[in-house]
Chains A and B, each alone.
Chain A
Amino acid sequence: MTKHIPEKVSVAVKSAIENPERRKAIKRIFRHAGVSVFGAVVAQAAIFSRPARAAKILRPPGALPEKEFDSTCIRCGLCVKDCPYDILKLATWADPAPLGTPFFVARQDPCRMCTDIPCVKACPTGALDPLLTDIRKADMGVAVLVDHENCLNYKGLTCSICVRVCPIQGEAISLKPIQNERGLLQIPTVDPDKCTGCGTCEKHCVLSEATIRVLPRELGLGISGTNAMGRR
């Protein structure tokens, strides 16, 4: 075998040819690397093409911003177990959220805002921020009166159920009088700095589809600053 190797072949190549074991090992490593890279590209495409978290998916109190939450949460379900009102679920493939992450849907079962926040205490990784000790500082989302057309208070009635059920009544949501052609209307108005996004108002809205809804903050609120054209 070895006598056919030309003189000028470099030492490295020569030793590889003379050493079929090593040659095989190098080949194997490269083949595996190739499969890994190809597979990773395909899998990455699959991961990114998954639909993002839907707006109705709300995270438990103290949850980190969604992107960090996705990497920090290890899908153990300890928060789910410790919720005394059993509002939390772990996402299955049928839910519009990453598999195994905890969530609640406000319209079905809102957060009761326990003052000792057992779900945060249960979290082993800090995906639910342990620095959150006051439930009133929680930020699960923000309530937004999305449908002015169907809200009974906008029609001149004094339903106001959303204001009356709010656990931070009078601060997070209050009635503000507005005079228009229908007369004096009492409009439920949310203070986004006080609202924790617990979802009690959405749960109790008397209409068959809630007109007030809790949305993740980045969806529910505008931010003043420069507009898309760069003007203030």
Chain B
Amino acid sequence: MASLLRRIVSYVKSHRWLLMRRSLQILIVLAFVVDIPEVGRIAHGNLSSSLWFWNLPLTDPFVLLQSWLAGAPLAQTALIGAAIVAGFYAFFGGRIYCSWVCPINMLTDAAYWLRQKFKIKGNLTMSQDLRSVLLVMALVLSVITGTLAWEIINPITLLQREIMWTSAVGLTFLSALFLFDFLLTRRGWCGHLCPVGAFYRWIGHYGRLRVMAVKTNACSGCTDCIKVCPEPHVLAPVVAQKAMAVTDSDCTRCGACLDKCDGGVLAMKLELRGAKSFRGIPIVKID
């Protein structure tokens, strides 16, 4: 009994970031679907635009940007909502959205997990810049067509609608996306294609919440953190001890590296003081 308890505790400890992340993602999905007795539903709408706790409007700035480019006038509620969301991600770091909020992340993480279980080695290499290209395309197309170009296929709200109205029309696309990540490309969708991630990366370029190396001398150089990282290139300068913090805006702050690191080398910290490194080169202060 005690050993079981100990195993559970150690499991929770070594998966604490993952568990926190998943709980938040699931809570966000449920907030839109479940009616709590006596209270009702705490979130209305969907991830394009929503009303939380009956008062707080939140709007996806990417969707609003497409709408504005398509020729729509900007409305107050939507603007306030978008400012809140954009401000949050600009301060903390854009791709927090990807690993803590986006429901598609659960789908692609599951695909990646299966990919490892089945030991699938084949990998269709794609440029990670493709998502920026898709982002530009979505914005240009919104201007040309006068419609919200990315919302025609956006799997994030598609998945949400499928869950909220238990429909299955979009399942073909969602399963195609799953199989793509599972069989074709390692982290194909979130790491290479999704323009929403590219947009949030751009917003949160100077995000202050960062994975930092706090005990550099405890690092054994096992590179386990790089192996679990969904965007491995962001950790390279830290592991090579060329930087004290992950400054690359690709970092999704998922905490997988923190879960994996036994030595407690890494920590998630709000870095409010000035940057300690510039483009991966540490800034040395001379006293």
CA distance A126 to B72 in the complex (A): 9
Chain A residues with CB under 8 A of B64: 74, 125
- Is residue A43 contacting chain B, with contact meaning CB distance below 8 A? yes
Task: Give, as a whole number of angstroms, the nearest-CB distance from A91 to chain B.
Answer: 9
* Stretch among A15-23, A92-100, A191-199, A214-222 lining the B interface: A92-100
* Stretch among B45-53, B96-104, B246-254 lining the A interface: B45-53
Q: Are B170 and A92 in contact (CB under 8 A)?
A: yes
Chain B residues with CB under 8 A of A124: 45, 49, 51, 57, 59, 75, 77-78, 81
Count: A-B pairs, CB below 8 Å: 132
Chain B residues with CB under 8 A of A76: 45-46, 48-50, 59
Q: Are A39 and B133 in contact (CB under 8 A)?
A: yes
CA distance A129 to B145 in the complex (A): 22
Question: Contacts A124-B75, A125-B72; is A75 near B151 (CB within 8 Å)?
Answer: yes
- Smallest CB-CB separation from B44: which chain A residue? A81
Point out which of A35, A67, A77, A93 has the most chain B C-beta atoms below 10 A from its C-beta: A77
Q: Are B73 and A126 in contact (CB under 8 A)?
A: yes
Chain A residues with CB under 8 A of B44: 78, 81-82, 122
- Is residue B129 contacting chain A, with contact meaning CB distance below 8 A? yes
Chain B residues with CB under 8 A of A39: 133-134, 137
The interface size of chain A toward B, counting residues with CB under 8 Å, comes to 37
- Is residue A89 contacting chain B, with contact meaning CB distance below 8 A? yes
Question: Contacts A32-B129, A40-B144, A43-B141; is A77 near B45 (CB within 8 Å)?
Answer: yes
- Is residue A47 contacting chain B, with contact meaning CB distance below 8 A? yes
Q: Are B137 and A40 in contact (CB under 8 A)?
A: yes
- Is residue A115 contacting chain B, with contact meaning CB distance below 8 A? no
Q: Are A71 and B148 in contact (CB under 8 A)?
A: yes
B residues contacting A by CB (< 8 A) are 41, 44-46, 48-51, 57, 59-60, 63-64, 67, 70-73, 75, 77-78, 81, 129, 132-134, 136-137, 140-142, 144-149, 151-153, 157-158, 161, 164-165, 167, 169-170, 173
A residues contacting B by CB (< 8 A) are 28, 32, 35-36, 39-40, 43-44, 47-48, 50, 67-68, 70-78, 81-82, 89-90, 92-94, 98-100, 122, 124-127
